Amino acid sequence: MTPRDFIFWLQGHMEINDPETITEAQAAMIKEHLDLTISELSKKKLNQPQPASQTGGMGGSASTVNPFGTMVYTNAMTTPIC
Rounded CA separation 59/75 (Å): 7
Collapse the DSSP code of 42 into the 3-class scheme (helix H, G, I; strand E, B; otherwise coil) and give the result.
helix
pLDDT tens profile 2-39:
888 888 999 999 899 988 888 999 999 999 999 998 88
pLDDT of residue 57: 46
Residues 43, 73, single domain; the answer is: no
Mean pLDDT of 47-60: 54
Residues 43, 60, single domain; the answer is: no
Q: Domain range holding 4? A: 1-48
Residues 23, 36, single domain; the answer is: yes
Average pLDDT, the chain: 74
8 Å CB contact between 74 and 13: no
pTM reported for the whole predicted model: 0.48
Residues 65, 29, single domain; the answer is: no
Residues 39, 58, single domain; the answer is: no
Residues 63, 39, single domain; the answer is: no
